[in-house]
Amino acid sequence: MTREEFPGWHGTTIIGVRKNGKVVIAGDGQVSLGQTVIKGTARKVRRLSPGGQDVVVGFAGSTADAFTLLERLETKLEATPGQLARASVDLAKDWRTDKYLQKLEAMLIVTDGKDLFVITGAGDVLEPEHDIAAIGSGGNFALAAGRAMMDTDLDAEEVARKAMAIAADICVYTNGKLTVESIG
């Protein structure tokens, strides 16, 4: 089956919320192939601890591709301890220029509790406006819902959980089985 004939993996909504000194990344657990739910409990948010630093990463896209990127990010973080921005830019640069990495289909949201970035295969390292970022199939739904709640008394985790619940109600490729990690 060629890449064009393959029905495509769908699923995953990841949200990152920074509020009142706390950063939360939450991700749903659904993986779909075409119209079929393959797995409902995938864990797409991970905590990395290279060299003793604490970094949380959420990924959308191909799981194998995302794990390759996580390994590369961990190596970059070990080479530049405490410098998430530099490690993220180095990863994005490699991702865009390396012939092997160029074929990887995933996106990342990363945080060290201070910085919050979206990293893409186009070479982008984006720091989101309004202290909230979302990626994946239901990312736009989660982003809109989360932004609407940022001026409320809800904390970062409550915003992330409620935004993900709204995305799960709207996007058929998103479920409510969350993995949530926080720093701060």
Upper half-sphere CA count for residue 63 (Cβ side, 13 Å): 15
Please tell me the predicted confidence (pLDDT) of residue 131.
97
Averaged over successive runs of 10 residues, the pLDDT of the chain (184 residues) comes to 46 93 96 87 92 90 85 93 95 86 86 96 92 96 98 98 98 95 93
pLDDT at 10: 56
Whether 111 sits among the annotated catalytic residues: the reply is no
The active-site residue, picked from 12, 80, 111, 174, is: 12
Q: Which fold has domain 9-183?
A: Glutamine Phosphoribosylpyrophosphate, subunit 1, domain 1 (3.60.20)
pLDDT at 90: 95
**Domain map (residue ranges) of the chain:** 9-183
Task: Please report the pLDDT score of residue 23 as a whole number.
Answer: 98
Write down the pLDDT at residue 168.
97
